[in-house]
Amino acid sequence: MHNLSIKELSEGLKAKRFSSRELTQHHLDRIARHDWALNSFITVTPERAMAQAAAADAQLAAGAGGPLTGIPLAQKDIFCTRGVKTSCGSKMLDRFVAPYDATIVEKLDAAGMVMLGKANMDEFAMGSSNETSWHGAVRNPWNPGRVPGGSSGGSAAAVAAGLAPAATATDTGGSIRQPAALTNLTGIKPTYGRVSRYGMIAFASSLDQAGVLARSAQDAAYVLQAMAGFDPRDSTSVDCPVDDYPAALDKPLRGLRIGLPDEFFAEGLEPGVRSCVEGAIKKLWELGAEFENVSLPNMPLSVPTYYVVAPAEASSNLARFDGVRYGHRADNAASLEELYKRSRGEGFGAEVQRRIMIGTYVLSHGYYDAYYLKAQKVRRLIYDDFKRAFASVDLVLGPTAQNVAFRLGDKGDDPVAMYLNDIYTIAANLAGIPALSMPCGFHDGLPVGVQLMGNFFDEARMLNVAHQYQQATDWHKRRPPGFE
């Protein structure tokens, strides 16, 4: 059952070939059997899952329910879930039990999906390898000695290993797309404001966006359909109609215009990765897409811009974790100042502390104009580059990552090398546009992803292109050895 698509699972449930309880138990059993080697879950919720599965079976027996009713999924541990620990991968929140559900949790519950548990993640979503989690590193199912990408590495590893049919994830600078590329999944980051951020613990509020990790574009389309939409509780949510994503999948690609930015194919791209991406371009051309060169001249500035803006917002957002209101509190502090210092020093890991310090510095008196304000101006230039590109093309295509999954521990002592893992993904977050990564081949036995970026609210077109590509290829159907 774990190799069936969401559409096939839905059809099987409605035809009573199996029940949601059987399907859910099957995935819980796989978690128990395999997750010791991956560490993809922080919390598994079997009682809640079986109760939701029973409710789904009752709904299906009554002839009701939708395409997601009874389908299991994993929730990234950044989304508040009522009555369940929401740790954000941090010691700071390891005892925090959310008193309410995030909007996307509510929406997916309403769609009849079954939550298997909370997926591991880089601490407060800060990382590109899922090695900064207080709960330990996540391992890549394709090679347990390699990283799965981050910060949504737990979600990615769980889906890639067949422990869940799909998972929620978040993307601040590539944290959906980069793990998708490194684990052979389809991952979509919607337009900023397309999916509610209410109940999602903030890292960088102007960049964070919730999305989906799944095995195929079709699976991602079904889940995103249930997640998307306006939420009055989120001031950044955009009130505009949501396209019918599954209905748009079968549109032919003839006449589609795709831009190839020179900056995405410059020095630093591994030859094996380049070869896979070029193969994807050829296949899309055979399917009717047209290609032309475009330029995003400010894209090389996206990494330094991001690592000013994101830490600044993190410094502000994480200031509330002080050991007084909620979160980790140090014992036996002699003064309020000592309580603050020790609680934050003990509760936050090294990477989170590094980014808080950078962010506090760039916002401080005398440095705000030199760093933060200048970064916001460059951010606008990056947006303008995309605006010009989309005047002549429908989508932009390039590699998702420079390389395949690297070894655990390889870049832990070099923060700059780690940050450069997001060189192809960050620009989409700075511009607020949607982006998607899909499997396009293997290099040295490890998955490679190709990235599509679209204009605002053009998720349907990206999912359509990915689906048509996946109808003509079988990369997305490959499974990691030992998890078939």
Residue 74 located in a structural domain: yes
Which alpha helices (H) appear in 208-289, and where do they start and end?
A: 217-227, 271-286
Provide the pLDDT for residue 57.
Answer: 98
3-state secondary structure of 396: strand
The answer as to whether 36 is a domain residue is yes
Percentage of the chain exceeding pLDDT 70? 100
Is the residue at 95 inside a domain?
yes
Q: Which pair of tokens denotes residue 147? A: 């990283």
Burial class, 4, CB count within 10 angstroms (exposed 0-12 / middle 13-18 / buried 19+): middle
DSSP state of 93: G
Q: How far apart are CA 88 and CA 119, in angstroms?
A: 9
- The pLDDT score that the predictor gives to residue 365 is 86
Q: With pLDDT > 90 as the criterion, what percentage of the chain qualifies? A: 95
| CATH number of residue 26's parent domain | 3.90.1300.10
Tell me how far apart the terminal alpha carbons of the chain are, to the nearest angstrom: 11
Peptide bond just before 302 cis, omega within 30 deg: no
Token pair, residue 373, equals: 């304000």
User: CA 319 → CA 240, 295, 315, 330, distances in Å?
Assistant: 33, 39, 6, 16
Our CA dihedral for 319, 324, 328, 331, rounded to 10 degrees, sits at 130
pLDDT at residue 278 tops 90: yes
pLDDT at residue 204, as a whole number: 95
Looking up tokens 């709960």 gives 135
Instruction: Please say whether the beta carbons of 461 and 195 come within 8 A.
Output: no
pLDDT of residue 421: 84
For residue 415, what pLDDT is reported? 84
Cα dihedral sign, 132-135-137-138: negative
Q: Are 214 and 72 in contact (CB under 8 A)?
A: no
pLDDT of res. 420 = 82
Out of 97-111, 312-326, 372-386, least confident range: 312-326
User: Does 325 have pLDDT greater than 90?
Assistant: no
Closest CA to 264 of 458, 446, 475, 449: 449
Q: What is the DSSP string of 246-262?
A: GGGTT---TT-EEEEEG
Beta bridge partners of 337: none
Instruction: Look at residue 267 in the predicted model and tell me its pLDDT.
Output: 84
For the segment 1-20, the average pLDDT, to the nearest whole number, is 97
Structural domain includes residue 169: yes
Residue 241 falls inside a structural domain: yes
For residue 151, is it within any domain?
Answer: yes
Residue 257 lies in a domain: no
The tally of domains found in the chain comes to 1
* Stretch 77-85: mean pLDDT: 98
pLDDT exceeds 90 at position 107: yes
Residues classed as catalytic? 76, 151, 175
Burial 473-483 (b: 16+ CB within 10 A, else e): bebbebbbeeb
The pLDDT assigned to 228 comes to: 98
- Best CA proximity match to 438, nearest among 154, 176, 170, 129: 176
**Structural domain boundaries, residue 146:** 6-252
Q: In this structure, how many other beta carbons lie within 10 angstroms of the beta carbon of residue 361?
A: 15
Is residue 425 within 8 Å of residue 174, measured between CB atoms? Answer: yes
Give the per-residue pLDDT at 100.
Answer: 97
pLDDT score for 418: 85
Amino acid 462: pLDDT: 98
Q: Which of 456, 468, 425 is nearest to 180 (CA)?
A: 425
pLDDT at 320 over 90: yes
* Amino acid letter, 300: P
The mean pLDDT value for 80-101 works out to 97
Per the DSSP assignment, residues forming a β-bridge with 213 are 167, 187
Q: Does 241 score more than 90 pLDDT?
A: yes
Distances (CA, A) of 347 to 42, 43, 46, 138, 207: 17, 19, 28, 20, 24
Q: What's the half-sphere exposure (Cβ side, CA atoms, 13 Å) at 130?
A: 41
pLDDT of res. 224: 98
User: What is the arithmetic mean of pLDDT over 8-15?
Assistant: 97
**Token couple for 77:** 């541990």
Amino acid occupying residue 163: L
Between the CA of residue 39 and those of 44, 163, 217, what are the distances in Å? 11, 11, 25
Q: What does pLDDT average to over the chain?
A: 96
CA 42, CA 109: separation in Å to the nearest integer?
A: 20
Q: pTM of this prediction?
A: 0.97
Looking at the domain assignment, is residue 471 inside a domain? no
Q: What is the mean pLDDT of residues 127-144?
A: 97
Query: Residue 408 gets which letter from DSSP?
Result: T
Say if residue 194's pLDDT is above 90.
Answer: yes
Mean pLDDT of the region 176-195: 98
Conformation bin of residue 81: beta by default, left when phi > 0, alpha when psi is -120 to 50: beta
In the prediction, which pLDDT does 412 show? 79
Per-residue model confidence as pLDDT tens digits over 395-444: 999 999 999 999 999 987 888 888 888 999 999 999 999 999 999 999 99
